[in-house]
Structure 1
Amino acid sequence: MKGKDSSNRKYDKLNLLPDNLLGRKPVSLMKEGIQQFLKDKVILVTGGGGTIGSEICRQAARGGAKQLIVLDNYENNAYELQQELAGTYHKLNLVVEIASIQDKASINNIFNKYKPQLVFHAAAHKHVPLMEDCPEQAIKNNIFGTYIVINAAKKYKTEKFVLISTDKAVNPTNVMGASKRFCEMMMQSMKNCEGTKFAAVRFGNVLGSNGSVIPLFQSQIARGGPVTITDKRIIRYFMTVTEAACLVLKAGEMASSADIYVLDMGKPVRILKLAEDLIKLNGLTPYKDIDIIETGLRPGEKLYEELLTRKGELTPTVNHKIFIEKQEEIAFSQINYSLQQLKKAINTGSSEKIRLALKEAVPTYKEPSEVNKLADEYLL
């Protein structure tokens, strides 16, 4: 930026930006059915201090939850949310538990103590480049942690369990996406589970969330640029935090048979256009006041994301913006075998063996080069 002071800009606050950057009208999903679904229920949210988890907590508090348990292993986020909710909803029976989903004893104690009726599982390692460097942590937390929470939900007779997944789980090209796809597969293996009803919710990038491109771009603009994008061809699906949380809750309301729910998010957005629009929203001119440069694709990064594992395999729901992706049933014996192989690979301490075990467990897991070479055809 050439001699401009960023301290007094009209659009510095991120909460002013998302709807303007979405490229479509936000989808309204919060209906009476969700309010009834939440009312007088004991609700547990794992990763409750995160962007999606905290918004689910707000909706649960607003919806009249009997008790809300915020579970997180990062105390600062959990504390801030606790102060916010306690100050806004004075009658809310709010509990904060600091624990890791990898700690089986703690998770079982929490489920035994509170007997949650609804569980929203948002806890996960989500940063693609970091998980490429630390694949064992993605598997320990995202896969084995989820497995622990699933089993606790079954054991203590949770009514409904909703997994928050990601579009990166579709034909994954990175460890994070593959780990989340395996979590979806665990959901599929619960199709005939008696008692607890399981579901997964899959959506794209959340505008303004922790680790998203919006805070990164905004900080780069505040410093005078340049704004960095990995590749000008990249496209992504985006949604607002409110849309994401409401989709999770609506899926929980409808959940019946280990389905995967997806939201109609319209057309994907080019990251390059997103960067240009954000610069303009800050009252500046792209390439004049703030430059935009390419830095190259990061390890595991795709040029485009998808929402469906199999094209055209969608079933409509009562909400015209929400669909169910048809899934083949997966035997739990297959899941159990993969878990054993993943554990053996982790015990070797070899990143290469861990990746090979993950590729064996998730057949759709491919190298980025295999997918990106088809990108130009797809993007046409």
Structure 2
Amino acid sequence: MKSDTIDLSSEVILVTGAAGSIGRELVFNFASKNPKQLILVDISETGLSNLIKELQINYPKLNFVYFTESICNSAFIDFLFQKHKITSVFHAAAYKHVSLMEQNICAAITTNIYGAKLLIDSATTASVRRFIFISTDKAVEPISVMGRTKKVVEDCLVWKQQEGSLPQICTLRLCNVYGSSGSVVPVFKNRIALNLPLEIKGQNVKRAFIAVEEINDITDWLLAQIDCGGIFIPKNPKVFTILEIAQQVIRDFKNISPEEYPIQFIDLPKSEKQEESLKNTSENIIQLEGSPLVQLKTMKQRHFNLELLERCFFAAKSYDEQEALKSLKNLCIEG
């Protein structure tokens, strides 16, 4: 189905993290297709305010509501699903900066896991049609706090899907989105603007990238499917070394040869891998005709330890970082 033939006239779509790089792309794509209603949630007051102004200018007839709220507020999440007849959820809200989350373990667990669980539980109770979780390649055999939080949510969603009830649950496992707020590109641009040397973590570090515009094709395809349950990854991400990205930014932003601008190599943090993967060894790729995605299947039965998850939540809310991290690691082992 072509994207311009997708009918969203009956869709009430909730987008969390609506003011983020990926969230904004989702929102403007949906807005262009005149949905029944868009519900925008983001904790960033400034980001949401800017998004609202742009929507009012570009889509004056768009039916949308917005909330500067935390997805960790259970009363708010209950209110959302009780007041609005939500049909689809695109959950993009999360803490995603790897190094920052190494020093904010409890916040990462509470927002990335607890917030996601509140949403999926409420979506299930409300019989929402589809729930799409924006994950990351850092959830594959994770070594960072952020990656582990994403893996726990992935495992929880697979377990929920195995129960066979609504909603259809899709995990969209993305790689780096070129130019997004969490990517290295704006960091490089800011340093060039200040005439500072570009810092590259590690030698020959590789990352897979998709363009932010590709998210539109991906979400259009998902919305067009009768059954979108499962784990999906981009079909053709492009792999670059971080040095290659730095050199391209220098060409684009400075309009000089990369050899003319200083680049420094620093140690790769322990929370970062030399190279990320979009799939683990137990996952097999299933090709999908006419899709920008491929689906992943595993023969491994997923189990989920809810008691351990609750202990992890309790430790995080109590700011017991040692116990929270221990529980987080154990959840990843069990999953």
TM-score range relative to shorter protein: over 0.9
Structure-2 change in CA distance of 1:240 and 1:257 (3 Å): closer
Structure-2 change in CA distance of 1:43 and 1:272 (3 Å): same
Which of 323, 327, 334 aligns to 1:353? It is 323
Question: 1:81-110 deviations in whole A, cap 9, x for unaligned?
Answer: 111111111211011112111000001101
Structure 1 counterpart of 2:255, one-letter code: G
d(CA) in 1 for partners of 2:213 and 2:293?
15
Matched, 1:130 2:100: yes
Q: Is 1:146–1:183's contact at 8 Å kept on the other side of the alignment? A: yes
Matched, 1:78 2:48: yes
Percent of aligned positions that are identical: 31
* Bigger shift: residues 207-216 or 349-358: 349-358
Alignment of 1:1-380 (within 5 A): 32=2, 35-191=5-161, 192-254=163-225, 256=227, 258-281=229-252, 282-288=254-260, 290-310=261-281, 313-327=284-298, 328-331=300-303, 334-346=304-316, 349-363=319-333
d(CA) in 1 for partners of 2:302 and 2:224?
23
How far did 1:299 drift?
A: 3.9
* Bigger shift: residues 207-216 or 245-254: 245-254
Q: Is 1:199–1:256's contact at 8 Å kept on the other side of the alignment? A: no
Structure 2 counterpart of 1:284, one-letter code: I
d(CA) in 1 for partners of 2:5 and 2:195?
45
Q: Which has the higher strand share?
A: 2
Structure-2 change in CA distance of 1:255 and 1:99 (3 Å): farther
CA RMSD of aligned residues (A): 2.0
d(CA) in 1 for partners of 2:226 and 2:179?
28
SS in 1 for 2:90: strand
Structure 2 counterpart of 1:302, one-letter code: K
Structure 1 gap ranges (5+): 1-30, 366-380
Structure-2 change in CA distance of 1:255 and 1:207 (3 Å): farther
Structure 2 gap ranges (5+): none
- Count of residue pairs brought into register by the alignment: 332
Q: Is 2:16–2:40's contact at 8 Å kept on the other side of the alignment? A: yes
Q: Is 1:154–1:195's contact at 8 Å kept on the other side of the alignment? A: yes
Q: Which has the higher contact order (CA 8 A, sep 6+)?
A: 1
Q: Is 2:288–2:295's contact at 8 Å kept on the other side of the alignment? A: yes
* Bigger shift: residues 206-215 or 116-125: 206-215
